Amino acid sequence: MPLSYSAAAAAAAAAPSPLAARSRGLLRRPPRSAPVVVRCKKIDQLRAVNGIPPYAPVSNRSLLSPVTLPIIRDANIKNNTRLRIFSGTANPSLSQEIASYLGLELGKINIKRFADGEIYVQLQESVRGCDVFLVQPTCPPANENLMELLIMIDACRRASAKNITAVIPYFGYARADRKSQGRESIAAKLVANMITEAGANRVLVCDLHSSQAMGYFDIPVDHVYGQVMNLIGDVRGKVAVMMDDMIDTAGMLYLYQLCPPAIERLSSGLFQEVIITNTIPLKEDRSFPQLTILSVANLLGETIWRVHDDCSVGHEPYSSLDID
C-alpha cells in the first residue's frame, strides 16, 4: 500500500545520513582487489631481412593491413661515415689529395666574394652530427684566407656539426708569437682566440714556426712536423741537409712562399736541391730547376683519420706513409 507524502518524509528524516552511517560502520568500502602485474616481453629491434623493410605486426584477426615503416637514407652519407672534408679556396689541390687518401669526396661548399670584398660561405650538404674537417692554410693573402676560415667554421657551427677541426697546413701570424720589444702585438695568440671563438673544437697544424704557439689555443691542437736536425761537427765531403720551417727571402733560410729574393738566392748554384712541401700552393713562375715539392696530403690525411677514429696521433707508423 503506497505511503502518503507525510509518511515518506518522516521515514526519510528517520534514516541516518551517509556521514552518520559511515561513522557507525553501516557503510563499508568494498575490499580492494590485489594489484594487477603486467609483464612486457622484450623483443629484438626490427631489422630488414633479405631486403624486406621492417613492419609493425598486427593480429591475424584484424582487418588492418601491416603498416610499413619507411627506411630513410641520406644520399650524402657515403659508406655510413660521419667524416666530412671541406676545402677553402687557399689550397684546393692539397684538399683534394687529402680526400683521395681517405677515400672520400670533398664536401660541397659555395664560397664567393661580393663586390666590396665580403666573403660568403654556404654548405651545400648536411653536416648535422658530423665530424667536420676544414682544410684552409692561412697563406697569402693571409687576411683573406684567415677570414674565410673563420666564416667556414661559423657556417659549420650553425649547421649543427658535432665536431669542427680547422686543418691549417700553414699557420699565418705564427712568427708573431712573442714580444721582442715594447708595445708589440702577439698576433699568434689573437688569431688562436679568433679561431676558438668562431666555433672550432680542434686545430690540426703542420710545422708551426714555434711549438709554443700551441699553448695559445684553449682547444686541443694536433701538431705534425718533420725531424729536427742540427748541424754539428765537420761536414766536409758529406751531404748537408738544412731544415727550417719557412723560406721567405732565403737570407736566413726561412721556409715560406719563396718570395723573389729567395728564388735568385736558392737557384744561384749554392744548393744542389731545395725541397719544400705543398702546404702552400706554389705559382709556376716561382719554380726553378733545383726545386722539389713533396706532398703532405698522406701525412695530414692519416692524422685526420686518427683524430676521427679517436686514435693516438703520435703513434707509429708515420714513417711508413708514402710521402711523395
Give me the torsion for CA of 215, 218, 223, 229, rounded to 10°.
0
Evaluate the CA torsion angle 238, 243, 249, 252 in order and state its sign: negative
What confidence tens digit (pLDDT) does each residue in 206-229 have? 988 777 888 889 999 999 976 545
If you average pLDDT over residues 25-42, what whole number do you get? 58
Reported confidence tier of residue 286, pLDDT bands at 50, 70, 90: confident
From 214, 210, 215, 212, select the one nearest 228 (Cα to Cα). Answer: 210
* C-beta of residue 279 within 8 angstroms of C-beta of residue 206: yes
How far, in Å, CA of 170 to CA of 291, rounded? 19
What confidence tens digit (pLDDT) does each residue in 143-159 have? 999 999 999 999 999 99
The reported pLDDT for the residue numbered 142 is 94
CA atoms within 13 A on the CB side of 244: 14
- What domains are defined for the chain? 83-226+296-320 (3.40.50.2020)
Query: Taking the model in full, what pTM does it have?
Result: 0.68
How far, in Å, CA of 65 to CA of 60, rounded? 9
Residue with cell 744542389: 272
What confidence tens digit (pLDDT) does each residue in 239-259 have? 666 655 555 444 334 444 456
How far, in Å, CA of 241 to CA of 139, rounded? 25
C-alpha cell at 32: 580492494
If you average pLDDT over residues 137-145, what whole number do you get? 94
- Counting residues of the chain whose pLDDT is more than 70, the rounded percentage is 61
Distances (CA, A) of 249 to 180, 185, 244, 256, 305: 21, 23, 13, 8, 35
Is pLDDT at 164 greater than 80 in this prediction? yes
Is pLDDT at 122 greater than 70 in this prediction? yes
The residues, ordered by sequence, that sit 6+ positions from 266 with a Cβ below 8 Å of its Cβ are 247, 250, 258, 274, 288, 290, 291
The reported pLDDT for the residue numbered 192 is 96
How far, in Å, CA of 206 to CA of 98, rounded? 14
The most confident of 81-85, 106-110, 266-270, by mean pLDDT? 106-110
Reported confidence tier of residue 312, pLDDT bands at 50, 70, 90: confident
Is pLDDT at 64 greater than 50 in this prediction? no
DSSP E strands: which ranges in 160-244?
163-168, 202-206, 221-224
The reported pLDDT for the residue numbered 253 is 42
Mean pLDDT for all residues in the chain = 77
Evaluate the CA torsion angle 79, 82, 85, 86 in order and state its sign: positive
How far, in Å, CA of 166 to CA of 149, rounded? 8
Is pLDDT at 178 greater than 80 in this prediction? yes
